[in-house]
Amino acid sequence: MKLLRQGKSSASGDPSQSMRTTTGNGIDTSRTIHFTFDGRRYAAHPGDTLASALLANGVRLAGRSFKYHRPRGILSAGAEEPNALVELRTGARREPNSRATVTELFDGLEAASQNRWPSLAMDALGINGVFSPVFTAGFYYKTFMWPAAFWEKVYEPMIRRAAGLGRAADEADPDIYEKATTFCDVLVVGTGPAGLAAALTAGRTGARVLVCEQDSLPGGRLRAEHGEIGGMPGWQWAEQAMDELRQMPEVRIMTRTCVFGTYDGGTYGALERVADHVPTPAPDQPRQRLWRIVARHAIVATGGIERPIVFPNNDRPGIMLAGAVRTYINRFGVTPGQRAIVYTNNDDGLRTARDLHRAGATIAAIVDARTTETPLARDMAQLTGAKLFMGGAIADTYGRLGIHAAVIREHSGLTQRVPCDLVAMSGGWNPELSLTTHQRTKPVYDETLCAFVPGTMPAGMRSAGVANGTFATPDCLREGTTCGQDAAQACGFSATVADLPAAGTESYAIVPLWHALPLDRPARTGKAFIDFQNDVTAKDVRLAAIEGFRSVEHLKRYTTLGMATDQGKTANVNALAQMAEQTGSSIARTGTTMFRPPVQPVAIGALAGAARGRHFKPDRLTPTHDWATEQGAVFTANGLWHRAQWFPRPGETHWRDTVNREVRTVRTAVGFCDVTTLGKIDIQGPDAATFLERVYVNAWRRLPIGRARYGLMLREDGFAYDDGTTARLGENHYVMTTTTAHAGSVMQHLELCHQWLWPELDVRFISVTDEWAQLAIAGPKSRDVLRHIVDPAFDISNEAFGYMAAATVTICGGQEARLFRLSFSGELAYELAVPARFGDALARLLMKVGAPYGIAPYGTEALGVMRIEKGHPAGPELNGQTTAHDLGMGRMLSTRKDFIGRAMAARPALTDPARPALIGLVPVNAGDELVAGGHLLPAGAQATAAHDQGWVSSAAWSPTLNGWIALGFLSNGPARLGETVMVHNPLGNSVTAARVVSPVFVDPNGERLHA
């Protein structure tokens, strides 16, 4: 007989798969593939998981625990795995904390152990185990406080060095992800007997059924067991059922898809692993796909998770869950040990002895915590020739890197040491009910099953099979069928239910077993682990109880129980039960195990999908975007818009040269700028004028057709909201412009005003932002240029088409356009709007016809400089914190009408004359720079907040004034023109003397506007 010793078989690097002793229903032994673990090459078969392949090659040591760095093996065969976590793949595709038990093997897979140094077998931080008597739960809270300065400098860096498990990739994830939404009548989660029965039943009704299976193969536990359904092995029945489902036109099947979360309104999140089972995705193929599933009804048939038994040193490699042992034997053809002890408190665990025996292993002992012998226990002992210890326990184990013996404590109290290389333990099964608790509906404790079962469930959800606490296969089939039928019926589909296939009934007969040894006798020798990954022991639970951390939430937070990557799937109930015992309470009264989504950890990349990098948000392009690109424009983001910021020319070495030139061109000749991004809203209806009166602070009734007016909007709380010009195009027809930033929210605001506040007003709106390409043409020669474009039938002379005129015109021989005499720059200026398709052509035309006048395009930066020169407020001034009074527009507020914000704008704090109000600033010493974001303090005042009287909102170098200028808000500002204040910018270590001036720096009387 050969006993497994860690190190021997793996050290030899023998690719013989020596532990592959039988055939498995889930692997293809006709092909051999290879993989590496910690640099060593091994052989395996398609269908293997990394865990089954490691076990096949006799590798038992797979990882280290988080806190004590204890050597750990493979505990489970599923997603609940706490121990066997590895770094998968390398480089930019490195995936830390990957569970070997659910990692599908592919040829060339590379995996490495993590959280160890220098090697898995020789981990230096294993020393933590020596100090473990100090490192109890709550240890950190009680220490590292002296001296105070040492936390950040000494203790925390030390703790952080030891922190974490695997390493995140160092580079950007090269793979792509996508998302999709799907709808169904009935969602079935899981393809064990209950799930398949539900899917078949619902599918046969013609309902739209979506079946999700997180595994690559259907069947769930059927693949792990010997039981038959319908006269064939269960796994074959499952495949047959899947084939039938595939034939149903309204049934959709997603394998490798984990439904990870239950959200409101029948929405579920699911992750499909599209290309995780291959080395790299095909070109353009997503690695994973996030599904948003909208289901009218859902059937949770997610099976169960086996509980470990809490006994001293229950964490050594080679101590596994009994159900996992059966999975490795029956599905993967791997026998995880040659000399096994089966330790159970239920009949299900006992069957492991049979499967091990059939696979050729020796059963050294069957330890059954139940004191009364069950028929199955007797049968199993007889079949395997194992010694049966009813009422027994495992009191300790030996083997640093893998178990080689266990101490069995007989019911009588006598102990004996039994050599072994495998302990298959079963503490009973917990229904996997996570999905039923995500909406904070609580599960209930079932005394007979010694487990929590789903309680009240979210609307439309049912659970079936083990997930519902129903264990025997015939019952699972029956329950699945009923759920499938009920769910389909609730969606309006009915069917006759087919006969259930025959299946054998297995006994369960569990007794509670929350710890192997009495808790009042704390073992000094060995830790009895509850949460394997986070190293939470029975003793920690006891300490938490002593210190008053007795509620489940306190227990978790104080001991870190259930906080590891497995979220306590194997730990929580054992811990809860021990706490109940410690506090002399019942399990039901102590608390419950609720789960937070996701059921399985989900890659952040998958949740983000395709929205990343340059495609993080959609791009909005102006009609002249391509033309501006040809011109070499530098673009800037303005919300979603890309706008030309400036148009550099050869020889310009600094962006400011460019901007200065663009400003000078506008001020002296003519320039043009794409202003399409401003929100444009078409407003029509008999009550349009009344409506404008209500949303703007100023008056609109008397605005003549063919004229535009500046308008200011407040929020209902009286602060300034948005501004822009609105032109009257017809009797009941207006076109409103908004700022670029608020275009969407103003639309929403107008709709609210109309639909909710004043539904009696007869008015309609629609966005025309995208309909019109709108170009500002500004400068003393703008009219000259326009004359080449606007058809001669339209008189655009100053007399006929003065400042603030608006008209529909034709250009270029009949093309309809809109012309507005508006100016943001302060020059003679127009805005010309053409259907968007012609925007590009208009820009090219302006360049051509404007060339003799020295025309140049200008970008948002020059636009910004010129609006500061004119003292026009923009985003930095309309920041949601300023009032009309602050902006110098207090007098615009009409007192003759109701409008949004009127009442609240009258509150004392909003009308306080001491509020900082808009002023202009110029440096006292020519050439000094004024910094936006600087604070305004009186000259000579100490640089403290007590003397803070305002701030600089916008600043620019003015090529027109040949110096820095700024807009700002200063307490009592308008009354302080001429005063010198200090612009404090401690962030930039500067203090600059500035003179308070009018905010209109250029052409204060507006002569140019009217030229």
Partner 1 sequence: MPSNRYSLFSLLRETLRGHTGWQPAWRDATPQAAYDVVIVGGGGHGLATAYYLARRYGIKRVAVVEKGWIGNGNIGRNTTIIRSNYLLPGNVPFYECAMKLWEGLEQDINYNAMVSQRGVLNLFHNDAQRNAYIRRGNAMRLNGVDAELLDAQAVRRKLPFLNFDNARFPIQGGLLQRRGGTVRHDAVAWGYARAADRLGVDIIQNCEVTGIRTQNGRAVGVETTRGYIGAGRVALACAGNSSRVAAMAGLRLPIESHVLQAFVSEGLKPFIDCVATFGAGHFYISQSDKGGLVFGGDIDGYNSYAQRGNMPVIEDVCEGGMALMPRIGRVRLLRHWGGLMDMTMDGSPIIDRTPVDSLYLNAGWCYGGFKATPASGLCFAHLIARDEPHPTATAYRLDRFARGAVIDEKGMGAQPNLH
Partner 2 sequence: MRLNCPCCGPRGLEEFTYRGDATVRRPESPTAPAQDWVDYVYLRDNPAGPHRELWYHGAGCRSWLVVTRDTRTHAISDVVRAVDVARADKEGAGS
Partner 3 sequence: MPEVLHPRDAVSPVPLTAHGVTLRAGAMRESVSLAAFRGQADTLRAFVGKEFDVDLPDTPRSVENADGITFIWAGPNQWLLRAAPGTDLLTRLSPCAAFAALTAQGDSRTALELRGPGARAIAAKLVPVDLHPRAFAAGDVALTLAGHIAVILRQVDDTPCYEFLVFRSLAQSLHHELHTAMLGGIPQADRIS
User: Can you give the binding site for partner 3, defined by CB under 8 A?
Assistant: 176, 178-183, 208, 210, 246, 252-255, 272, 274, 284-286, 289, 292, 294, 610-611, 615, 617-623, 626, 640-641, 676, 682, 684-686, 762, 764, 766-773, 788-789, 791, 811-813, 815, 834-842, 845, 848-849
**Smaller CB separation from partner 2, 755 or 944:** 755
If contact means CB under 5 to 8 A according to the sort of partner, which of partner 2, partner 1, partner 3, none does residue 567 touch? partner 1
Identity of the residue, 524 or 702, whose beta carbon is nearer to partner 1 in the bound complex? 524
Report the alpha-carbon distance of residue 636 to residue 737 in Å, rounded.
21
Task: Pick one of partner 3, partner 2, partner 1, none as the site partner of residue 459 (Cβ within 5 to 8 A by kind).
Answer: partner 2
Sign of CA dihedral 319, 320, 322, 326: negative
Is residue 358 a contact point for partner 2 (CB under 8 A)?
no
Using rule CB under 8 A, residue 608 touches partner 2: no
**Measured from the CB of residue 898, what is the shortest distance to partner 2 in angstroms?**
5
Given its phi and psi angles, is residue 422 left (phi above 0), alpha (psi -120 to 50 degrees) or beta?
beta
Which of partner 2, partner 3, partner 1, none does residue 988 bind to, with CB < 5 to 8 Å depending on kind? partner 1
Closest CB 2 distance from partner 2, rounded Å: 59
User: Which of partner 2, partner 1, partner 3, none lies near 903, with the C-beta cut-off 5 to 8 A by kind?
Assistant: partner 2
Token code pair at residue 866: 């010129």
Q: Which is nearer to partner 3, 104 or 762 (CB)?
A: 762
- 907 lies in the site for partner 2, by CB under 8 A: yes
Tell me the per-residue interface mask from 327 to 366 with partner 1, x by CB under 8 A, - otherwise. ----------------------------------------
State in angstroms the smallest separation of the CB of 749 from partner 3.
17
Which member of 74, 775, 910, 967 binds partner 1 (CB under 8 A)?
A: 910
The reply to whether 616 sits near partner 2 by the rule CB under 8 A is no
Are β-strands 829-835 and 641-646 bridged in parallel, bridged antiparallel, or unpaired? unpaired
Taking the C-alpha atoms of residue 299 and residue 199, their distance in angstroms, rounded to an integer, is 9
840 binding partner (options partner 1, partner 3, partner 2, none; Cβ < 5 to 8 Å by kind): partner 3
* Closest approach of partner 1 to the CB of residue 654, in Å: 16
Residue 881 as a binder of partner 2 (CB under 8 A): the answer is no
**Of residues 192, 266, 428, 934, which one binds partner 2 by CB under 8 A?**
266
Query: Taking a C-beta distance cutoff of 8 angstroms, is the pair 223, 196 a contact?
Result: no
Using DSSP, state whether 109 is helix, strand or coil.
strand
The binder of 602, among partner 2, partner 1, partner 3, none, by C-beta within 5 to 8 A per type, is partner 1
| 522 forms part of the interface with partner 1 (CB under 8 A) | yes
Q: Which of 898, 912, 913, 975 binds partner 2 (CB under 8 A)?
A: 898
* Greatest CA separation for the chain: 115
Residues 94-113 binding partner 1 (CB under 8 A) are: 94-97
Name which of 150 and 411 has its Cβ closer to partner 1: 150
Q: Which does 284 bind (CB under 5 to 8 A by kind): partner 3, partner 1, partner 2, none?
A: partner 3
> Could you say whether residue 264 binds partner 2 (CB under 8 A)?
yes
Per CB under 8 A, contacts with partner 2 among 723-762 are 744, 747-748, 751-752, 754-757, 759-760
CA distances from 702 to 35, 574, 698, 800 (A): 82, 79, 11, 19
Beta strands, E only, 469-568: 529-531, 536-537
Measured at the alpha carbon of residue 568, what is the angle toward residues 470 and 508, in degrees to the nearest 5? 25
Pairing of strands 85-88, 109-113: antiparallel
**DSSP for residue 755:** I
Min CB(479)–partner 2 separation in Å: 27
Kindly write out the interface string for residues 850-889 of this chain, putting x where it contacts partner 1 by CB under 8 A and - elsewhere: -------------------------xx--xxx--------
Contacts 24+ apart (CB under 8 A), 399-402: 399/6, 399/316, 399/317, 399/318, 400/71, 400/316, 401/6, 401/7, 401/60, 401/61, 401/71, 401/121, 401/317, 402/4, 402/5, 402/6, 402/7, 402/60, 402/61, 402/71, 402/73, 402/316, 402/317, 402/318
Number of residues that bind partner 2 (CB under 8 A): 29
> Do the Cβ atoms of 547 and 558 come closer than 8 Å?
yes
Span of 513-521, 683-691, 693-701, 979-987 interacting with partner 1 by CB under 8 A: 979-987
Q: Judged by CB under 8 A, does residue 716 bind partner 1?
A: yes
Question: How many residues are given for the chain?
Answer: 1011
Residues 719-778 that bind partner 1 (CB under 8 A): 719, 721
CA–CA dist 1002, 870 (Å, integer): 6
Residue 130 as a binder of partner 1 (CB under 8 A): the answer is no
Which partner from the list partner 2, partner 1, partner 3, none does 508 bind, CB cut-off 5 to 8 Å by kind? none
Radius of gyration of the chain (CA): 38
Give 492 or 880: the residue with its C-beta nearer to partner 3. Answer: 492
Q: How far is the CB of 968 from partner 1 (least distance, A)?
A: 10
Which stretch of DSSP H or E encloses residue 574? helix 572-582
**Chosen residue from 5, 15, 46, 151 binding partner 1 by CB under 8 A:** 151
Measured distance CA(667)–CA(1008) in Å, rounded? 10
Indicate the residue type of 651. Answer: G
Question: Which secondary structure element, helix H or strand E, spans residue 833, and what is its range?
Answer: strand 829-835
Q: Is 716 in the site for partner 2 (CB under 8 A)?
A: yes
**What's the CA gap between 603 and 1004, in Å, rounded?**
59
Q: Which element (helix H / strand E) includes 829?
A: strand 829-835
Q: Is residue 419 involved in binding partner 1 (CB under 8 A)?
A: no
Q: What are phi and psi of 494, to 5 degrees?
A: -125, 160
Binding mask 557-576 for partner 1 (x = CB under 8 A): xx-x--xxx-x---------
Nearest Cα neighbor of 428 from 497, 354, 350, 365 is: 350
Pairing type for strands 267-273 and 257-263 reads antiparallel
571: nearest Cα among 517, 534, 546: 534
